[in-house]
Structure 1
Amino acid sequence: MRVFLAIEIDDYIKNKIDETQHIIRENNSANIKYVEKENIHLTIKFFGEINDKQIGNISEIVQSTVEKYEEYSLKVVNIGAFPNIYRPRVIWTAVKDKNVSMNLIKELDEKFNKIGFKKEKDYVPHITIGRVKDIADKDVLTNTLKSLKKEYYGKMKVEKICLKSSRLTPEGPIYENIREFKLGDKL
Structure 2
Amino acid sequence: MQQKRLFWAINLPDELKRKFFGIQSWLREVPADVKWVEQHNLHLTVKFLGEVEAGLIDDITRAVEESVAGSGEFILEFADIGFFPGPQRPRVIWVGVRGEVQKFRLLHDRVEESMARLGFASEGARFSSHLTLGRLRSPRGARELVSKARAIAGESGVIGRVRVAAVDLVESRLTRTGPLYSVLATLKLLKV
Q: Residue in 2 aligned with 1:50? A: 52
The amino acid across from 1:62 in the alignment is: V
* Paired letter, 2:180: I
Consecutive unaligned residues in structure 2, runs of 5 or more: none
Paired residues for 1:67-82 under 5 Å: 67-82=69-84
Q: How many Å separate the matches in 2 of 1:148 and 1:114?
A: 42
**1:103 corresponds to:** 106
1:185 positional shift: 7.1
Give the alignment's Cα RMSD to 1 decimal: 1.5
For 1:62, the equivalent position in structure 2 comes to: 64
| Cα pair 1:29 1:135 within 8 Å, conserved | no
Within 1, Cα distance between the matches of 2:97 and 2:104?
9
Runs of 4+ in 1 over 6 A off after TM superposition: none
Partner of 1:91: 93
**Superposed CA offset, 1:68-95 (max 9, x none):** 2112111111111110122111111111
Deviates more, 1:56-65 or 1:141-150: 141-150
Query: Aligned residue for 1:133?
Result: 137
Answering whether residue 183 of structure 2 is matched by residue 169 of structure 1, we say no
| Preserved contact between residue 65 and residue 187 of structure 2 (Cα < 8 Å) | yes
SS in 2 for 1:157: strand
Task: Tell me whether 54-63 or 169-178 shows the greater mean CA deviation.
Answer: 54-63
CA contact (8 A) 1:66 1:185 kept: no
Contact 1:85 1:145 (C-alpha < 8 Å) held by counterparts: no
Q: Whole-Å Cα distance in 1 between the matches of residues 135 and 65 of structure 2?
A: 32
Residue 11 of structure 2: aligned partner: 8
Kindly tell me the number of residue pairs found equivalent between the two proteins. 185
The alignment's TM-score, normalised by the length of structure 2, stands at 0.90
